[in-house]
Structure formats: C-alpha cells, structure tokens
Amino acid sequence: MNYAFRNGKILDGTKEMKIQQGLCILVENGIITDLIPDANADLHNYKVIDLHGQYILPGLINMHVHLAGNGKPQKKQRNNEKLVKTIMSSSLTRTIAYKMVAGFAKDELFSGVTTIRTVGGLGNFDTRLRDEIESGTKLGPRILAANQGISVPGGHMAGSVAVAASTIPDALKQLEKAKQEKVDLIKLMITGGVLDAKKKGVPGELKMSPEMVYAVCKQAHDAGYLVAAHVESPEGVRVALENGVDSIEHGAKLDNSMIRLFQERGAFLCTTISPALPYALFDSSITHATEVEQYCHRAISFILFRGKNSIQLILN
C-alpha cells in the first residue's frame, strides 16, 4: 500500500536537523519516494496519514545492543554465568528466554529504533530472531547480529553473552561457530567491564592477549567480517587497534597516538555514553548500583566526556 504522511513536523536527519513543515511524505511499497508541498497535493492513490502537527523523523539506529537484557537497574549484582547456564539448560527455559529476547527487540522498534547492532547475546538467538524478522514471522527492527562474543576465562561476560576461550585455537573455534550461525559481525571482549566488575579498576584491565586479538581479527577479516571489541582503557584501545579491530565499543580518553591508530585502521568509536550516565550520576537508591559499580561508571563517563572533542574529530 502507498502512504502519504501530511501535516507533520519533519526532522529529516540532516546535520542541521531543522524542522520542516508544509510538506507531505510519499511512501510507495515501503520506500520514501518524494517530499512534496502539502497544499493541493494529489493523494488519491495514497492512504493519507494525518500527523496532526506531531513530529516525524527517520528510524533511529541503536549501535550497541545486548538483547539478553532490558537495561533496567538490578537490585543486586547477579552471577550472569550461572544464570545463563540455567536458562540455556532446557528447551522450556530456552523458549521462555527467546520470547523475552524477541520482546526486547519489539520494544526497540516501538521506541522508534528501526535498526539495531547486537554485540553479545544468548546462543544463536540474535541471528535466529534477525531471520524471523526478515521473513515477517516476528516483529522487530533490522538486526546486525554477532550472537555470542569471544572472551577469555575471567573476562567480561565470559560464560554469559560471550564464550570463554582459553587458547587461540578455542577462540578460532568459536569464530567458526559464529560463521556457521551466519553472524553479521564478530565481537571480542578485550578488557574487563563495568557491570560484572567486583573491584575498582577491573573495567580497564587487559584480559585478552594481543596475539589472540590478532589471530581472530585476521581470520575474521579473511572471511569478510568486521570485528567489534569491548574496550575500556587506553591500553585496551591500543591493543585492539594495533591488532585489527574495526570498532571500539565504550572506549577510553583519546590522545594523539590513539587518534592516529583510529585513522590508520579506518576504525570507529561507539561510545555508549547513555547507559553509563545513569549509574554515574543517579542516586544509588534509584540505580541499585553498588559503590564499586558507581565508581567504575563514573570513571568511564569521565573518560568519555573529557575526550569528547577528540571523539568528534574521529566521527568527522
């Protein structure tokens, strides 16, 4: 069916993002075909949607998603590895978990997000859901899926949304599994992370060896994949970029040498500031964050904000 959206305040996604009014958006077979003056428009071949002065904008893109969670504060830190092991242990609990994951994806769509990039999930749920959405049997956004990430024993999200690889052959074996699941990208957990840190300073600790990072990136690139990496320290960023990573998730305060590495690699930075800020700034009675969690989130948020000018330089 063809649609005509009229009487709206249009935000078209351009750099200036100026509000446009008095225009009508024509959509044919799901594709925007034209933007015409609203007055006296011939719309007899369209189903007219009157926006009544409300805003309309392009679908949003969420670049860093874990569909295993909804982002709500937890009252206490959980043993994610034990929880995921229980969830994936039977067909009943896997079915319930998959329904939950599909529900979170639907929430993204109903929030205006039409494309998501998943960077660590439960089993092969993300690619399975991606395919069901594409086939029309499930409702949700477009998904670029990584499925489970690759971590190391004691590393970030090891045993939950990432596999703990003890050796380089183990990591490459998980990469082969990801290829068989037809993922869209590969995810590495190079440093420790905030949400499963049990003491201060853990989020920036280098967990994965440079040799493992290099081996996975090389084989992933040979197979045509981009590699995203969880990194929360300057050392982690350096190791990631020097050994082939294509995107830094979270990041660290940038200096000239780090910027040069981004430019040489053609890599990009996904800062994920929005989930860190509530933990850093909100009262712990709201977030239920422990003192350690709050400290770690403040450290990460401080690093990212102090480096925002450098971040802007890379994005430009």
User: Residue 46's CB: how many other CB atoms inside 10 A?
Assistant: 18
Kindly tell me if the per-residue pLDDT of 202 is higher than 80.
no
Class of residue 88 by CB neighbours under 10 A (exposed 0-12, middle 13-18, buried 19+): middle
Residues 117 and 63 sit within 8 Å (Cβ to Cβ) = yes
- Give the CA distances from residue 36 to residues 204, 212, 315, in Å, rounded to whole numbers and listed in that order: 52, 54, 32
Using one digit for the tens of pLDDT, what is the confidence trace for 28-76?
998 999 999 988 788 999 999 999 999 999 899 999 999 998 777 666 6
285 vs 126, higher pLDDT: 126
Residues 152 and 165 sit within 8 Å (Cβ to Cβ) = yes
- Average pLDDT estimate for 65-91: 85
Output phi, psi for 308, to 5 deg.
-65, -35
Rg (CA), the chain: 22
What percent of the chain stands above pLDDT 70? Answer: 88
Q: What is the C-alpha to C-alpha distance for residues 35 and 6, in angstroms, rounded to an integer? A: 10
Q: With CA atoms as reference, report the closest residue to 176 among 154, 153, 150, 144.
A: 150
- Give the CA distances from residue 207 to residues 3, 227, 313, in Å, rounded to whole numbers and listed in that order: 52, 17, 29
Using one digit for the tens of pLDDT, what is the confidence trace for 232-281?
999 999 999 999 999 999 988 888 999 999 999 999 999 887 766 666 67
> How much is the pTM?
0.85
Kindly tell me if the per-residue pLDDT of 124 is higher than 90.
yes
> For residue 229, what pLDDT is reported?
98
User: Residue 232's CB: how many other CB atoms inside 10 A?
Assistant: 30
Q: How confident is the model at residue 181 (pLDDT cuts 50, 70, 90)?
A: very high
DSSP assignment of the chain equals: --EEEES-EE----SS---B-SEEEEEETTEEEEEEESTT---TTSEEEE-TT-EE-PPEEEEEE-TT---PPPSS---HHHHHHHHTTSHHHHHHHHHHHHHHHHHHHHTTEEEEEE-S-STTHHHHHHHHHHHTSS---EEE---SEEE-TTSTTBTTTEEE-SSHHHHHHHHHHHHHTT-SSEEEE-B--STT-SSTTGGG-B-S-HHHHHHHHHHHHHTT--EEEEE-SHHHHHHHHHTT-SEEEE-----HHHHHHHHHHT-EEE--HHHHHHHHHS-HHHH---HHHHHHHHHHHHHHHHTHHHHHHHH-
> For residue 8, what pLDDT is reported?
95
